[in-house]
């Protein structure tokens, strides 16, 4: 009886250990580009907001600058929205279909952050 | 009198026993004011996937619709959540309609379910949510967003109706639409109806005193100065939840107020890169996000998805959050315009250092109390009630900001998350510490009121 139980447990352990581990490196490198594009756009949004704040309203010249900045803001906003939609779809696929549990999901985002911090976002494709 | 007699191994009950039993049954039945409609499936037998799709699209719609600043967005979520809950409440065991529980709602007659008839609560929820969603953004709703709502409604309806009796389908759909109509009628009288058309509520004059708010950027009018007069869902969220007065305004360097401003000044001067990241993460910049309330809803939706919450739990969860967020903004805005306190950037430039700059932009309304802190305080209490035993301990990672170019952030407790969000406003240089601490206090009290004063069903899944 003990022998049978041991064998049974071994089989369970065997099958449990056979669970295919997600290929985090592949997932991260595939996903990193789109995330980098979002990071670059985010930085641009904050830069423009900073610039806008630094402009005073009391000169006609600066009013013109504000108007031209509003056009840039509108364009960046649109690009940000489109990119956010793409990221949501891609991320949802990864988190829902490719990573089975919360631990794996957290591992993925941790590794993504580490990867981008290590490699930077210097050459992301313009969306 | 013996309630029952045992005879030859068979329990024989006396007539009085049956009378008592019947009375007991009637008593219990009457205790549940909204008894579950017989023969229908319970709400917790349906999945909530479609509801999560709607909430995702509410966020996107708030981002892309003119006039939806934080108060307006929280209000839109508010009524959508009520309609969604009312559409399914009769399918939840032990649940009570919000009609006689929310301020002023009893004057509006919700449709009644037809006794003995079956309903499909998911179909009702789908119809109610789609209709109220369109109403809340109505005049500024873009064609693309309207098409998307219609598309979600149609595809959800077709999927749910596929194996359902035609009578049940039409009855449930009609019921959902009627609920949405009543909730919309209720919304029209709260003071915020179509506020997105004129969110700055002009004209409005701020007193010209040294302690008072002055414009901090290109937007020279303060946002929604009369929002605090809107009708809250719970009166107690205004009457009993008021921030105590902040320290006396003074420009004297020895004063408490000056010291408070110096905390902001020194924090901004010495921010770590992590603190700057936190300031931006929670800023929910209006260029591209669905406001702070939307961020909190995104977190709730993510957790509901991860927990595979049923339609019953999701509907209740969204309703709770909707009430809390709407009232948090009303209460907070009331405080802002009662005190009309000058922003740190204006004070510091005037009395401490004219070259001072904040980390993120200062939004166009008074400082006291912090809107972010109010809303996250309220939201954290709702999350705590939904997913913890009251401790707030819950390990999760917020993925919702990845789409905006941030890394995910992890928390082990909802209070920890709320504290970080509140502190982010100090790191950003746009709020005094007291704005954040009192804002959190107000928000938490509102969340607690929603949890305790409204009768909610006990739903596990």
Q: Chain A partners of B406 at a C-beta cutoff of 8 Å?
A: 39, 42
Nearest CA in chain A to B298: A88
Cβ neighbours of residue A75 closer than 8 Å, sequence gap 6 or more: none
Residue from A38, A63, A93, A110 to probe the interface with B (highest B Cβ count within 10 Å): A38
Note the pLDDT of residue B284. 87
- What's the ipTM? 0.84
The two structure tokens encoding residue A113: 């952050």
Nearest-CB residue to A81 (from B64, B285, B306): B64
Residue B148 clears pLDDT 60, i.e. is over it:
yes
8 Å CB contact of B218 and A52: yes
Q: Does A28 touch chain B (CB under 8 A)?
A: no
Chain A residues 62-101 with a CB less than 8 Å from chain B: 66, 73, 76-77, 80-81, 83-85, 87-88, 91, 95
User: Nearest-CA distance from A113 to chain B in Å?
Assistant: 6
Local confidence pLDDT in tens for the 127 residues of chain A: 677 777 777 776 666 555 677 899 999 999 999 999 999 999 999 998 888 877 755 555 677 788 888 899 899 999 999 999 999 999 999 998 999 789 999 999 999 999 999 999 875 554 4
The two structure tokens encoding residue A102: 């919360």
Residue from B278, B403, B409, B427 to probe the interface with A (highest A Cβ count within 10 Å): B403
CA distance A95 to B365: 38
Q: Chain B partners of A75 at a C-beta cutoff of 8 Å?
A: none
**What is the mean pLDDT of the segment spanning B156-184?**
97
The two structure tokens encoding residue B169: 């389908």
8 Å CB contact of B402 and A81: no
8 Å CB contact of B397 and A106: yes
**What ranges in B112-255 are assigned the alpha helix state H?**
121-137, 143-161, 166-187, 236-239
**Where is pLDDT greater, at B123 or A13?**
B123
CA distance B460 to B313: 7
Nearest CA in chain A to B60: A81
pLDDT single digits (tens) B338-392: 999 999 999 999 999 999 999 999 999 999 999 999 999 999 999 999 999 999 9
Nearest CA in chain A to B397: A106
Residue B425 clears pLDDT 80, i.e. is over it:
yes
Nearest CA in chain B to A81: B288
Q: What b/e string do you get for A13-47 counting C-beta neighbours within 10 Å, with b at 16 or more?
A: eeeeeeeeebebeebbeebbebbbbbbbbbebbbe
**What is the mean pLDDT of the segment spanning B311-327?**
98
Residue B218 clears pLDDT 80, i.e. is over it:
no
8 Å CB contact of B408 and A109: yes
Nearest CA in chain B to A31: B402
H or E element, residue B433: helix B433-453
The two structure tokens encoding residue B439: 């804002």
8 Å CB contact of A84 and B361: no
Q: Does A109 touch chain B (CB under 8 A)?
A: yes
Residue labelled with tokens 């709502």: B149
Share of chain B above pLDDT 90, in %: 88
**What ranges in A1-127 are assigned the alpha helix state H?**
2-17, 24-54, 60-93, 102-119
Note the pLDDT of residue B18. 57
8 Å CB contact of A116 and B218: no
Taking CA atoms, B230 is separated from B96, B185, B187, B238, B347, in Å, by 25, 15, 10, 10, 30
């Amino acid at each position: 009886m003990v022998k049978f139980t041991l064998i049974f447990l071994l089989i369970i352990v065997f099958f449990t250990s056979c669970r295919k581990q997600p290929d985090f490196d592949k997932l991260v490198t595939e996903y990193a580009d789109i995330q980098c594009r979002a990071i670059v756009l985010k930085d641009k949004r904050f830069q423009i907001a900073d610039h806008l704040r630094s402009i005073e309203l009391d000169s006609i010249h600066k009013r013109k600058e504000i108007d031209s900045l509003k056009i840039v803001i509108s364009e960046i906003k649109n690009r940000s929205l489109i990119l956010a939609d793409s990221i949501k779809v891609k991320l949802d696929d990864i988190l829902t279909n490719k990573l089975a549990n919360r631990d794996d999901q957290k591992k993925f985002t941790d590794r993504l952050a580490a990867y981008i911090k290590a490699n930077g976002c210097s050459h992301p494709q313009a969306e | 009198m013996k309630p029952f007699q045992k005879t030859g191994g068979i329990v024989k009950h006396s007539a009085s026993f049956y009378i008592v039993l019947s009375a007991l049954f009637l008593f219990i039945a009457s205790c549940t004011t909204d008894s579950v409609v017989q023969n229908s499936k319970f709400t917790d037998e349906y999945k909530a996937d479609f509801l999560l799709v709607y909430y995702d699209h509410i966020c996107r719609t708030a981002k892309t619709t003119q006039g939806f600043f934080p108060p307006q967005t929280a209000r839109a979520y508010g009524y959508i959540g009520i309609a969604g809950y009312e559409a399914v409440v009769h399918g939840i065991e032990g649940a009570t309609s919000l009609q006689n529980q929310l301020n002023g709602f009893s004057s509006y007659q919700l449709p009644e379910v037809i006794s003995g008839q079956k309903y499909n609560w998911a179909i009702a929820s789908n119809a109610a949510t789609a209709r109220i969603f369109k109403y809340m953004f109505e005049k500024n709703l873009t064609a693309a967003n309207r098409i998307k709502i219609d598309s979600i409604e149609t595809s959800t309806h077709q999927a749910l109706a596929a194996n359902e009796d035609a009578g049940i389908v039409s009855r449930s759909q009609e019921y959902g639409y009627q609920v949405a109509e009543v909730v919309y009628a209720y919304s029209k009288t709260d003071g915020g109806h179509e506020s997105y058309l004129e969110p700055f509520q002009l004209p409005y004059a701020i007193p010209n005193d040294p302690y008072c708010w002055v414009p901090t950027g290109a937007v020279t009018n303060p946002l929604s100065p009369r929002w605090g007069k809107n009708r809250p869902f719970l009166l107690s969220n205004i009457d009993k939840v008021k921030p105590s007065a902040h320290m006396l305004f003074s420009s004297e360097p020895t004063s408490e107020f000056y010291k408070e401003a110096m905390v902001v000044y020194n924090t901004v001067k010495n921010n770590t890169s992590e603190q700057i990241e936190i300031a931006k993460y929670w800023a929910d910049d209006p260029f591209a996000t669905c406001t702070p309330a939307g961020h909190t809803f995104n977190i709730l939706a993510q957790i509901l998805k991860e927990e595979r919450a049923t339609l019953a739990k999701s509907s209740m969860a969204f309703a709770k959050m909707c009430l809390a967020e709407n009232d948090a903004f009303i209460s907070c805005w009331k405080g802002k315009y009662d005190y009309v306190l000058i922003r740190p950037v204006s004070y510091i430039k005037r009395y401490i250092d004219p070259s001072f700059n904040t980390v993120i932009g200062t939004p166009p309304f008074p400082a006291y109390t912090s809107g972010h802190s109010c809303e996250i305080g309220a939201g954290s209490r709702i999350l705590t009630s939904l997913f913890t035993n009251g401790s707030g301990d819950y390990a999760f990672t917020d993925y919702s900001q990845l789409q905006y170019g941030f890394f995910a952030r992890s928390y082990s407790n909802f209070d920890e998350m709320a504290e970080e969000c509140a502190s982010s406003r100090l790191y950003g240089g746009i709020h005094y510490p007291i704005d954040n601490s009192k804002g959190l206090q107000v928000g938490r009290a509102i969340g607690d009121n929603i949890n305790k004063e409204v009768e909610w069903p006990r739903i596990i899944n």
